[in-house]
Amino acid sequence: NRDLAAHTKLKFRQPGQGISDEIGDRERLKDELRKAEREHFEQVSKEKGEYVPRSALKEGEEDEDMEPALKRRRLMEEATKAAWLDKDDSDDDDEESDSDEDDDGDDTAELLRELAKIKQERAEEKEQQEREKQAEEDAKRAQDILTGNPLLNLGDGAKMNFNVKNQARGVDERPKKRFVNDTLRSDFHKRFLGKFIK
């Protein structure tokens, strides 16, 4: 067996084990996704007529040279600028919607009252169910107490059968085997003499 050749087959890399071609494919795919995402955001911002911070960059010109931390920081700054612009737009709308908020406040108060009423009804219903359940348990317990003691049920005429078998289940009548260093006094020798020499 030792003379047989071992490890006669070569193991080839399986797909997904990090071949350089696959890594290149992944990087290419990431670049395509970044480009598509950039184009999408530029198109959305143009439709809204907002400030377009990324359109000034030529495709892949500054992104490849930047470190990931700088990219992340720049993206965060642009996101905050966009959020501020959105907030400024929404402030103008707030002045118009002050009268609507009063109506909304009345509706909200009414909904809260309705919600409180529903919660109270559910609590009462749950309490009622708990009381019924407790009453059933008490009745069952009383019935078990009355019928559980066989000495109190003598009037039923029911036959009482007791299981008398295996009452001394844990008791072993055979003596345990013991070790005796003397062969003439061992239990085996005594049984042997009792069988064959009488």
Looking at residue 147, its pLDDT comes to 79
- The label of the residue with tokens 């000495």 reads 151
Q: What is the pLDDT of residue 77?
A: 81
The domain total for the chain is 1
Does residue 102 belong to any structural domain of this protein? no
Residues 6+ apart with CB under 8 A from 22: 15, 16
Could you list the residue range(s) of the whole structural domain that residue 41 is in? 20-96
Is residue 142 included in any domain, yes or no?
Answer: no
pLDDT reported for residue 164: 66
In whole angstroms, give the CA distance from residue 157 to residue 35: 92
In this structure, which long-range contacts are made by residues 134-143, counting pairs with CB atoms below 8 Å and at least 24 apart in sequence?
none
Contact 186, 180 (CB under 8 A): yes
The verdict on residue 10 lying in a domain is no
**Structural element, H or E, at residue 164:** none
Dihedral sign, Cα of residue 149, residue 155, residue 156, residue 160: positive
Q: How far is CA 120 from CA 108, 116, 126, 164, in A?
A: 18, 6, 10, 58
Task: Kindly state whether residue 26 falls inside one of the protein's structural domains.
Answer: yes
Is 160 part of any domain? no
pLDDT score of 29: 85
Residue 35, in any domain of the structure: yes
Q: What are phi and psi of 163, to 5 degrees?
A: -90, 110
Domain assignment present for 83: yes
DSSP 17: S
Is 147 inside a domain boundary? Answer: no
* Nearest partner of 55 among 38, 71, 69, judged by Cα: 38
Integer Cα distance of 100 and 108 in angstroms? 12
Given the structure tokens 């009462």, which residue do they identify?
124
95-100, Cβ contacts within 8 angstroms, sequence gap of 24 or more: none
Cα–Cα distance between 63 and 34 in angstroms, integer? 10
Over the chain (198 residues), what is each successive 10-residue block's mean pLDDT?
Answer: 85 74 77 92 83 51 60 79 71 57 80 92 96 96 80 60 65 73 89 87
